[in-house]
Amino acid sequence: MIDTLEKLVKAFGPSSKEFEVKKVIKDLVKNIDCETDEDKFGNLVLHFKAGGPKIMLAAHLDSIGIIVTDIDKNGLLHFSQIGGLRTSFLLGSRILFENGIEGTVFYEDRDALWEPKEFKIEKFFIDIGAKSKKEALEKVNIGSFGVFYPIFSESFDRIIAPSLDDRVGCAILVEVAKNLKKKNLKFDTFLVFTVQEEVGVKGARTSTFEITPEYGIAVDVTTAGDYTEPKINAIELGKGPAIKVMDGGMITNIDLRERLIKMAKKESILYQLEVITGGTTDAFAMQITKDGVKTAAVSVPTRYVHTQGEVIDKNDIKNIAVLLKQFLEKETF
């Protein structure tokens, strides 16, 4: 699964440009016994036909990114955000454009660099080494997309990389797909790799409307608060899957949540409960589609979300894959 994750992290795929990520996943699942389809909005759907109620598991393909809004006379690129960039962490970041051009992020206001109070997105720029606007336009244009340069590192039991939100969720679903035994499935199962989550959970809205599942589980990241004192929340790396209770957009279905907890206990999987007040996931869109879907979420504890160096624990992602496989094969309603 770690090799799979590295391939996914290194695939270019900000919101609306998830094509390379889908290509990697299609290649990884090409020998799996399931129906593979891509809907009109661009979501990739793996369908494991079986008896029982419909269940949809969703992980999003897209990452946050930048879009070029202007190029000045010196060839410096001004930009806006695709998804929720954390401006306080942008300074010095490396950016990769779709055509392979690289750049570094800096800030116009030199005084603010010494006494930062609030970094404003409109004052950042990207230097790609161009000497003039004309030279820069030979490589990038207004509307060009970029992402954090995808450096993937393993250190101890941890992984450090950008775009783990939510390539790690995609890697988990690929792992689940590879290991499912159709004859054991208790659900008519849909594994959905959604698009444009970072700009309004859009892919989950359209795919859930089409599939109309009875149950839904989103697989995404959540902020681990274990690197500060006092901690900002109770989530820690290496302490197992974070089974969501509430986030900034939803409260999960009590019955489905309790069943996931019961399955974790049954399989001796260490788990933790997630209660956060900001952000949300595809679960939010799934829950309120049509007449409603009983929805839960399982999250990967992650430090420094939406930065160049997100950090996760290998054991957490392995345990989430096991939990979801066991749930699909053993849970009965």
Active site positions, annotated: 197
Strand order in the sheet with 310-313: 153-155, 158-161, 310-313
Burial of 94 (0-12, 13-18, 19+ CB in 10 A): middle
Q: List, in sequence order, every residue forming a beta bridge with 78; answer none if it has no partner.
A: 70
Distance CA 166, CA 192 (A): 13
Identify which of 315, 168, 153 has the alpha carbon closest to the alpha carbon of residue 238: 315
- Cα–Cα dist 19/22, whole Å: 5
The distance from CA 193 to its chain's CA centroid, rounded to whole angstroms, is 10
Coil, strand, or helix at residue 299? Answer: strand
Cβ–Cβ < 8 Å for 282, 250:
no
